[in-house]
Amino acid sequence: MNPFRSQPSILPDEAHKTEAVRTMFDAIAPRYELVNRVMTFGLDTRWRKRCLDSLGIATGSRVLDLASGTGDLTRSLILRGFDVVSADLSFGMLHAGHDMAATVQADASRLPFDTGSFDGLVCGYALRNFTDLALCVAEMGRIVRPGGRIALLDVAEPKSKLMKTGYDLWFRRCVPVIGGLLSDASAYQYLPESTIYLPEPKSFRALLHEHRFSGVNHHMLSGGLSQLYTATRTS
Ligand SMILES: C[S@@+](CC[C@H](N)C(=O)[O-])C[C@H]1O[C@@H](n2cnc3c(N)ncnc32)[C@H](O)[C@@H]1O
């Protein structure tokens, strides 16, 4: 038995997940970016840079930052010269962010954008929060134009025993305490538990293919602390 999993699960059931996720992010929005930097020792900025570096579309292209939160990726995209729209479920997260892009409060499973209206899409640390991942990937396939690119970043769990022990100690024991001091303990207990929602690479690749993405690449970052998918929308 994994001792770090001995606490009761705080994961919401499917019927209540969207509302629970929205409420949680509304609550932690003011200190979201600070806690990110602290709990990853600033590594998340490196992972975000890798995500944007791998998007591979021309400067000036129209990009959707899906589940943009407070706009960490949005701001970097704007600095790189992209025309950015950011969309998120949580008004609190959008409101806490810097006002540097067109922002839309929307659910990733029902996006208020025209078919083929974006050249690219990025999504940072949100896949595991979606209630119906297949519907959200279908929406990505609809709104990204043929030839457009996506880069999807999320957490992961390291495979090596040593890294996994360190990961469990830090993310399951320390981060909820630090999160509690700086923000909200239960939200930062949800974080490591919610990795269970992420599909295995093989099935996520299949889902991307099903929704008209090809050339799927999957990379584990920093020994498996984060993972990145990139793909191209087929013609
Ligand atoms: C961990 S935060 C990531 C925020 C930002 N992308 C980043 O990289 O810092 C996850 C975000 O996903 C958003 N989210 C969760 N479910 C969503 C949904 N169904 N549709 C749109 N956004 C959603 C949350 O509101 C939250 O802002």
Q: Please work out whether the CB of residue 155 comes within 6 Å of at least one atom of ligand 1.
A: no
Residues 33-85 pLDDT 10s: 999 999 899 999 999 999 999 999 999 999 999 999 999 999 999 999 999 99
Q: Nearest residue CA, atom 25 of ligand 1?
A: 90
Q: What is the CATH number of the domain that holds 100?
A: 3.40.50.150
Residue numbers in the chain where pLDDT is lower than 70 = 1-8, 99
Domain ranges, residue 146 = 9-233
Indicate which atom in ligand 1 lies nearest the CA of residue 48: 8
Q: Is residue 1 part of a domain?
A: no
Q: Report the alpha-carbon distance of residue 227 to residue 235 in Å, rounded.
A: 26
Structurally, the chain folds into a number of domains equal to 1
Q: Report the alpha-carbon distance of residue 32 to residue 29 in Å, rounded.
A: 5
The whole-model pTM stands at 0.93
150 CA → ligand 1 middle, Å: 16
Sheet containing strand 83-88, strands side by side = 102-105, 83-88, 62-66, 118-124, 144-155, 226-233, 213-221
Q: Is residue 2 part of a domain?
A: no
- Tokens representing 196 are 């269970």
25 CA → ligand 1 middle, Å: 8
Q: Is residue 112 part of a domain?
A: yes
- Tokens representing 168 are 């469990």
